[in-house]
Structure 1
Amino acid sequence: MSQSDMPTMRSKRLGSELRRLRVARGLRVSQVAELLECGQPKISQIENGKRGIRQIDLTLLLDKYGATDEKYRQSLKQLARDVHKVDWWSSQGPLIHDTLRDYLTLESDSELVRSYEPTIIPGLLQTEAYMRQLFTLVRPAERVEALVDARMKRKELLEQHPGFKLCAIVDQLALHRIPGHPEQVVEQLRYLDEAGQRPNVMLQVVPLKAQLPVDQYVPFCLFTLRGDASIDVAWLEHATGGTLLEQRHDVQNYAQVWAALTAAALSPSDSRSCINDLVKEVRP
């Protein structure tokens, strides 16, 4: 299989959505293949993300599947056009692994990211010094600078794309685990305080005294994909990479967890006060 035929995060998302529409309509692969006048393997490849789809064929499928909402149709058509879009991380080679590429694609394609981190500062809100300390602890030395550069590049979403919004919930424990000497700790805390004042950032801190179920202490992100606010996906982080959840009941479960975390966390203004109080404690 050539590189251009390899599944991408966008092609897998598109294929998954088309499969969901077909199944909901009660149609077999053979019936769809007959509509497009092609073999059944082609339909399977499209739904598995291993093959792109022409706009004319996509229009036929959306009509057949009863997808009439124009905003939704346009979002899928744009996704089909972007299947093999060349992103900035495409040139990074093996320094950026496939799981991170998938995450970066989701992040880049989103208009809203809701991120919960129980133990570290969210990537988009990290200082360069914090990143370097973090990567040095867990990554080979030869990869550290490339990973730092990639994460700094990601932060352009906040600085150069006003339509992008980040809602971040951070456990207070993460604020007490910032690595480095006191000056670096204060730098990171002040950066969080400044970020929380941006119009496209909402930052909340979960206080140490908050009572939450154990299963909510898991880092995750909810991505609202640009173009259609009805398409949300969840991303769970773990030691070996990440897992994408697209089934609506799974996403809804994490949306409920997010609501519980939001309720348990301090308000944005109180969160900034908490951060500034910690600055006073740490300041050398």
Structure 2
Amino acid sequence: MAQSDMPTMRSRRLGAELRRLRLEAGLKVNDVATALECGQPKISQIENGKRGIRPLDLTTFFNLVGVDDEQYRNNVRRLAKQIHKRDWWSGEGPMLDDALKDFMTLEVDSELIRTYECSVMPGLLQTEGYMRRVFATRWTPEKEEEMVRVRFKRQELLEGEGAFRFRAVIDVPVLHRIAGGRHVVIDQLNHLLEMSERSKVTIQVLPLEAALPMEQRVPHYILSQRGEPPVDVVWLEHMSGGTLLEQRSDVAFYLGLWDELTAAAMSPKQSLDYVRNLIKET
């Protein structure tokens, strides 16, 4: 990937992490530039995700800011190597917006994804009939076809030996708010049962009577990025795109919320029984 194609999600994550380390060490941009024997603009470009950093410079930087943890160093080195990686959607053009590309980058780099949904079915668990109902309300027929193709391509990440683990907590109204005819509803509910048979997929339903504090909860993803150890980040979805949270305090908050949600939700077995009963009643 050429420097002109940057910043990317990976290069921005790398730059943000290097900036955090610099600030925590109490250093200025000029201090890092002096240690790496380069100009300040280069350091600014690295921190803004507009260019990468050479392995030797990265080692010098670690020594400068006092990072000794070899596992952590290797995780950052791994990210630094990947910033030039070209994914299958890199050449898709303007049909895919930047927010979706950013999220797909996080998705493909994950070994575990946890998601909470309170309004729509998680995208990786949607049938074609369901996703078309979602897309048709927002986009042109041409864009709809493209989005269906892309979503099917994303769902392939749940297949094979290299599949990541996927855990979903679905608020129960989502199961009762499936638009379309009876066949769309039945197909989607049956699809949930089929997906739950995969060893790396876990589905829990959050009942109306769930014992949870009266707080507003937004749809979100916790993505564990591959590494030793994995690095957790949070993605918040909204109508016009998404927001990435990487600050430790933010991530810790959503990890705590996830524990509350899974504890309050039905067990995986109870959840599937609920879906089966719903199919019978439909």
Distance 1:186 1:178 in 2: 9
Where does residue 164 of structure 2 map in the other structure?
A: 164
Q: Which amino acid aligns with 1:206?
A: L
Where does residue 71 of structure 1 map in the other structure?
A: 71
Following TM superposition, by how much is the alpha carbon of 1:101 offset from its aligned partner in structure 2, in angstroms? Answer: 0.5
Q: Do the aligned partners of 2:14 and 2:47 also contact (CA within 8 Å) in 1?
A: yes
Where does residue 265 of structure 1 map in the other structure?
A: 265
Distance 1:228 1:205 in 2: 31
Deviations 1:195-216 (A, max 9, x none): 1121111111001222444544
Where does residue 219 of structure 2 map in the other structure?
A: 219
Distance 2:123 2:64 in 1: 42
CA RMSD of aligned residues (A): 1.6
Tell me if 1:46 matches 2:46.
yes
Q: Do the aligned partners of 1:216 and 1:257 also contact (CA within 8 Å) in 2?
A: no
Following TM superposition, by how much is the alpha carbon of 1:239 offset from its aligned partner in structure 2, in angstroms? Answer: 1.5
Distance 2:189 2:262 in 1: 20
Following TM superposition, by how much is the alpha carbon of 1:194 offset from its aligned partner in structure 2, in angstroms? Answer: 1.6
Q: Do the aligned partners of 2:157 and 2:163 also contact (CA within 8 Å) in 1?
A: no
- Aligned identity (percent) is 53
DSSP-derived class of the 2:67 partner: coil
Where does residue 140 of structure 1 map in the other structure?
A: 140
Where does residue 15 of structure 1 map in the other structure?
A: 15
Deviations 1:180-234 (A, max 9, x none): 2112211111111121121111111001222444544310111111114452111
Following TM superposition, by how much is the alpha carbon of 1:160 offset from its aligned partner in structure 2, in angstroms? Answer: 2.8
Deviations 1:135-188 (A, max 9, x none): 012222220010000000001111035451111110111011112211221111
Tell me if 1:107 matches 2:102.
no
Q: 1:3 to 1:73 in 2, by over 3 A?
A: closer
Distance 1:36 1:54 in 2: 10
Q: Do the aligned partners of 2:120 and 2:174 also contact (CA within 8 Å) in 1?
A: yes
Unmatched runs of 5 consecutive residues or more in structure 1: none
Following TM superposition, by how much is the alpha carbon of 1:34 offset from its aligned partner in structure 2, in angstroms? Answer: 0.6
Unmatched runs of 5 consecutive residues or more in structure 2: none
DSSP-derived class of the 1:7 partner: coil
Q: Do the aligned partners of 1:128 and 1:148 also contact (CA within 8 Å) in 2?
A: yes
Q: 1:26 to 1:3 in 2, by over 3 A?
A: closer
Distance 1:181 1:229 in 2: 46
Where does residue 191 of structure 1 map in the other structure?
A: 191
Deviations 1:85-131 (A, max 9, x none): 11111121111100101100011111111111001110111112211
Q: Do the aligned partners of 1:115 and 1:222 also contact (CA within 8 Å) in 2?
A: yes
Q: Do the aligned partners of 1:162 and 1:200 also contact (CA within 8 Å) in 2?
A: no
Q: Which amino acid aligns with 1:58?
A: L
Q: Which amino acid aligns with 2:74?
A: Q
Distance 2:79 2:220 in 1: 23
Deviations 1:13-33 (A, max 9, x none): 001111111112222211110
Distance 1:241 1:137 in 2: 16
Distance 1:10 1:69 in 2: 21
Deviations 1:22-79 (A, max 9, x none): 1122222111101110011111111111111111111211222232222322221121
Q: Which amino acid aligns with 1:53?
A: I
Q: TM-score, normalised by structure 1?
A: 0.94
Matches within 5 A, 1:29-40: 29-40=29-40
Tell me if 1:200 matches 2:188.
no
DSSP-derived class of the 1:91 partner: coil
Distance 1:57 1:73 in 2: 13
Distance 2:101 2:162 in 1: 23
Q: Which amino acid aligns with 1:112?
A: L
DSSP-derived class of the 1:74 partner: helix
Q: Which amino acid aligns with 1:226?
A: R
Q: Do the aligned partners of 1:46 and 1:53 also contact (CA within 8 Å) in 2?
A: yes
Where does residue 27 of structure 1 map in the other structure?
A: 27
